């Protein structure tokens, strides 16, 4: 899953793809590099970020979804939003999947996804982006995140979203410190027991900087590729990344080794 952030303030690429034309070009390049899905987001949820209003978020993502749909009619497009109103219009404009970091916190979200027959990513987050990194706490982070995702999965299915349209994500960096992130990544393979595909997003995140000593998010490529390789080797079906080309090339090598074929 290649990331297309149409925001002025995303933690690693804020402001780089803010106008629709640049964002569409970037997305098409990520598809050329081997992305299977493009995730278009109009609200940064980095630690400390402020929420964005519905109108502003729509103004950012709709032209990009429309442009990508025109430029790549066959591509799978997801919209990264917590707002049912944004999801609804994005799906009408051609998105196929809602990537909801709130996992259905908006009371209308499951209905919107079910009615559209769309796919959905359910992600775990502790707290809200503004303060989530202040002092995240868990007794057992893996059990608690798994429990939360199990509940949300059941709620989504009860609301009419087919299990075959759902995917779960432990939400690396969303209300988690370094130890929490590492525990979740170590146990990531066990999330497959929930019976739906697992998505993980570690790309350029702060914990990679902490481990590899790189303050600049754009300089965290090697650590990000390492995390993607780890995740897929544990059975994770999809990784959400900024640097699609290098990740795809690395995963091709790992895949060939694992499958005993060139
Ligand atoms: N991470 C970010 C945003 N959306 N969605 C899922 N499912 N999983 C993730 O780990 C995830 C996500 C944060 O990364 P980014 O979009 O690059 O940053 P920002 O929120 O600053 O735009």
pLDDT tens for each residue of 118-144: 999 999 999 989 988 889 999 999 999
Q: Tell me, what's the pLDDT at 220?
A: 96
CB hemisphere CA count around 97 (13 angstroms): 25
Distance 45 CA to ligand 1 centre (A): 7
* Ligand 1 neighbourhood includes 81 CB (under 6 angstroms): no
Report the nearest atom of ligand 1 relative to the CA of 45.
20
pLDDT category at 76 given cuts 50, 70, 90 is: very high
CA nearest to 174, candidates 140, 208, 209, 131: 131
Write down the pTM of the prediction.
0.96
pLDDT at 231 over 70: yes
Could you say which DSSP state residue 217 is in? G
Backbone angles phi, psi at 43, to 5 degrees: -140, 120
Q: Tell me, what's the pLDDT at 123?
A: 98
> Which H/E stretch holds residue 226?
helix 221-233
Q: Tell me, what's the pLDDT at 262?
A: 58
* Ligand 1 neighbourhood includes 123 CB (under 6 angstroms): yes
pLDDT category at 35 given cuts 50, 70, 90 is: very high
Mean pLDDT score across all residues of the chain = 96
CA distances from 208 to 203, 204, 219 (A): 8, 6, 10
Residue 252 is encoded by which pair of tokens?
């091709």
pLDDT in tens, 189-202: 999 999 999 999 99
* Ligand 1 neighbourhood includes 206 CB (under 6 angstroms): no
CA nearest to 54, candidates 65, 43, 69: 43
Measured between alpha carbons, how far is 5 from 19 in angstroms, rounded to an integer? 10
pLDDT at 250 over 90: yes
Tell me the average pLDDT across 107-120.
98
Query: In this predicted structure, which of 42-51, 171-180, 233-242 has the lowest mean pLDDT?
Result: 42-51
Complete DSSP assignment for 159-212: TT--GGGEEEE--TTSS--HHHHHHHHHTGGGGGGGSS-BEE--TT-HHHHHHH
- Hunting for tokens 């902490």 — which residue is that? 210
């Amino acid at each position: 899953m290649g990331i297309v952030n149409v925001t002025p303030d995303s933690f690693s690429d804020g402001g780089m793809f803010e106008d629709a034309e640049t964002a569409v070009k970037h997305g098409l390049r990520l598809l050329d590099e081997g992305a299977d899905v493009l995730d278009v987001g109009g609200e940064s949820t980095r630690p400390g970020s402020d929420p964005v209003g519905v109108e502003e978020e729509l103004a950012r993502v709709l032209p990009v979804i429309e442009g990508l749909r025109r430029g790549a009619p066959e591509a799978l497009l997801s919209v990264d939003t917590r707002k049912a109103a944004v999801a609804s219009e994005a799906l009408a404009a051609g998105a196929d999947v809602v990537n909801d970091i709130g996992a259905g916190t908006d009371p209308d979200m499951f209905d919107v996804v079910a009615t559209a027959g769309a796919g959905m990513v359910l992600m775990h987050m502790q707290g809200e982006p503004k303060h989530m990194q202040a002092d995240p706490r868990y007794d057992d982070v893996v059990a608690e995140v798994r429990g939360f995702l199990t509940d949300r999965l059941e709620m989504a299915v009860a609301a009419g979203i087919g299990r075959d349209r759902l995917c779960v994500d432990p939400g690396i960096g969303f209300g988690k410190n370094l130890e929490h992130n590492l525990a979740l990544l170590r146990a990531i393979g066990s999330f497959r027991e929930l019976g739906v595909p697992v998505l993980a997003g570690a790309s350029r995140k702060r914990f990679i900087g902490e481990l590899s000593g790189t303050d600049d998010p754009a300089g965290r490529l090697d650590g990000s590729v390492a995390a993607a390789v780890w995740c897929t080797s544990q059975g994770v079906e999809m990784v959400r990344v900024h640097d699609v080309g290098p990740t795809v090339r690395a995963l091709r090598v790992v895949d060939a080794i694992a499958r005993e074929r060139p």
